[in-house]
Amino acid sequence: MKSTTETARLYNGVEIPYFGLGVYKVEEGTQVEATVSEALRLGYRLIDTAALYQNEEGVGRAVRQSGIPRKEIFITTKVWNNDQGYESTLKAFETSLAKLGLEYIDLYLIHWPVKGKYIETWRALERIYEEGKVRSIGVSNFNIHHLEDVMGQSSLKPAVNQVELHPALAQKELREFCGKNDILVQAWSPLARGRILADPVLTALAEKNKKTPAQVILRWHLQNGIAVIPKSVTPARLKENADIFDFELSTEDMELINSLDVGTRFGADPDNFDF
């Protein structure tokens, strides 16, 4: 991988950048507009938002004002849990589309697998896709059994599964399942909310490769074929996170990072959440 514009081909032929910006907890208005604008200036071409984040309007403004052709920017948003269900998802999508102020969305995701609702929700996503309002559809925070449930009851499978994934939670079994079924895995919280940056293995590898621990972690994701959406509102950190295309981790480096997997979640468990 040579640049921020490097893409993966989803099973329906749509190209999605491996590297992008997540805007969870980035404030609507000046902050999200400035953050997205700076990211786009630095070469980011994927912006990941959600109805829950309440900043879709700012994301849309920054995209429209960037001067970059719309087709060169990949926009993801998600239906929140309270809006799940067939008709309510169709309505939620139209609300997100209007807030973004865009003609279409590149990827629409089910944010969490709400028990008893995500199959109906998925059917709504299929309809939105078939109507051409979104270029691809997928899921977020789905475990293997959730994916099997969807795939067993629908005509389309998810193109993407966005999950918590980092060296302390490598999700190897889930990644293997998704790989066999041509579902791209995308990591949210790829840096584990900063909680593993001081790990001795990562700091040693950072020194060896003349990079920061965060850059080493993000490079580990990419070399594993995992797409990433690190979040930052700091221009220097946005630049640092994107500066991962001029080095490569060795096989030994990768194995050392793989050894850090202890199954630790810093976010909610998809099989046990109450929101």
Tell me if residue 161 falls in helix, strand or coil: strand
Contacts of 115 (CB under 8 A, 6+ apart): none
- CA 108 to each of CA 123, 125, 197: distance values in angstroms, whole numbers, following the listed order: 13, 8, 31
Tokens for 13?
């032929």
What stretches of the chain show up as alpha helix (H) in DSSP?
30-41, 56-65, 86-100, 118-130, 144-152, 172-180, 200-209, 213-223, 235-242, 251-258
Rounded Cα–Cα distance for residues 47 and 59 (Å): 8
Query: Within a 13 Å sphere around the CA of 190, how many CA atoms are in the beta-carbon half?
Result: 29
Name the nearest CA neighbour of 256 among 198, 176, 194, 202: 202
Q: What are phi and psi of 87, to 5 degrees?
A: -65, -40
- Could you tell me how many residues make up the chain? 275
Tell me if residue 45 falls in helix, strand or coil: coil
R_g of the chain computed on alpha carbons: 18
Rounded Cα–Cα distance for residues 237 and 240 (Å): 5
Tokens for 38?
């700076």
Enzyme catalytic residues: 53
Tokens for 250?
């060795």
* 137-140 vs 107-110, strand pairing mode: parallel
Tokens for 139?
């899921």
